Amino acid sequence: MSLSSPRRATNTATHHPLLLTSRRRNHLFIAQERSQGVWTTMSSTVGKVIRCKAAVAWEAGKPLVIEEVEVAPPQAMEVRVKIAVTALCHTDVYFWEAKGQTPVFPRIFGHEAAGIVESVGEGVTELKPGDHVLPVFTGECKECRHCKSEESNMCDLLRINTDRGVMLNDGKSRFSINGKPIYHFVGTSTFSEYSVIHVGCLAKINPAAPMDKVCILSCGVSTGLGATLNVAKPPKGSTVAIFGLGAVGLSAAEGARIAGASRIIGVDLNPKRFDEAKKFGVTEFVNPKDHHKPVQEVLAEMTDGGVDRSIECTGSVNAMISAFECVHDGWGVAVLVGVPNKDDAFKTHPMNFLNEKTLKGTFFGNYKPRTDLPNVVEMYMRKELELEKFITHEVCLSEINKAFDYMLKGESLRCIIRMDR
């Protein structure tokens, strides 16, 4: 979040390798790919402005409008992607409502998606037209200290920036309507039939993977799954508590199931979520409103002193404290995933740390987007990871406002949005 202006990029990394223009032009060629059963030839659009449909948010909280937008060709280290399918995440809704954030409008939202590379800008060598990709809201430049570290995925150049509405290369938007710029969202803007994305925010995936399933790996599912598998790392047979049974929490539960946890305890204030959670391996449920003592005490009594691992996925600071204090002394590990309010303060007694309880945080499940997401896709292809149960609704682009309604009413986990209907 180091670039502050949504309309003008404050580029502090002009000499970064991923922003340099290559001296030799990429060889452009005809690429024919089969997407959703339709063969498409993409060579005719290379280097040209593409006119296509996009769902544009003109104002905060107002229904999105399907417009014809102009999508400029990719510049240096950029890729133009034909979006095959996208999905609605709560983060899209949060910034669309613009309650407490910098409002950046008009804007094209969307960041969970899958698509096919249509063309590439100068300097792009890892991708070519026809490749299948997952756009990701955060990136991996592979050159900074974070990218070179095995312990971090927080890229200096391409870390998520929700205020910036332009491309890093020149501080301009690649979207426009009648010459008026339409701003990007977290570098992806997948509620458009075509989008221009920095190469470092695209994970190349197995072309055999069904895009209408793996598209949801671009954000929430990977965040929760990685929080469990990469950070909490529950041993087989362990007891795991999941705070919050939304899409991210259920992804964390899926991770616990894959890891072989013997007990997965779901904690949520909404009892309607309990039946759904059973599909993700949750074995027991606790509603804090049903008890007259702190939920961490309830969990400690249920588990002979505390759970082995806990993952907090709500953003409530009280849930964070409970998730930490409910783990067993000596070996218990709590992982914070939810994003708190900016003025929240985490308070617990220091003895909890001295008693060898461990508190960790995670960003995007500690996955490096370009390096690790292809492997997560392969987990699905090997049937180790189940994605179908996350997808509760499906609409076409012209019906995208229905997806917002489903989420605002709490009726959906993930609603996918098809571009080809």
State the catalytic residues. Answer: 89-91, 111-112, 141, 144, 147, 155, 159, 219, 414
The answer for residues whose C-beta is within 8 angstroms of residue 194's C-beta and 6 or more apart is 50, 52, 71, 80, 81, 82, 83, 118
Local structure of 71: helix, strand or coil: strand
The two tokens of residue 137 are: 């809201």
CB 161 within 8 A of CB 6: no
- Under 8 Å between Cβ of 357 and 376: no
**What's the rounded Cα separation, in Å, for the pair 420 and 82?**
11
Taking the CB of residue 311, how many other CB atoms lie within 10 A of it?
Answer: 31
Q: What is the dihedral of CA 69, 369, 154, 384, to 10 degrees?
A: 130
Distance CA 117, CA 139 (A): 17
Task: Label residue 233 exposed, middle or buried (CB < 10 Å: 0-12, 13-18, 19+).
Answer: middle
**Chain center to CA of 412:** 16
Residues 395 and 417: beta-carbon distance below 8 Å:
yes
Please tell me whether residue 206 adopts helix, strand or coil conformation. Answer: coil
Residues in Cβ contact with 292 at an 8 Å cutoff, skipping those fewer than 6 apart:
none
Q: Which residues contact 103 (CB under 8 A, 6 or more apart)?
A: 60
Task: Tell which residue, 210, 178, 248, 224, has the closest CA to residue 414.
Answer: 248
What CA–CA distance (Å, rounded) separates 414 from 88?
6
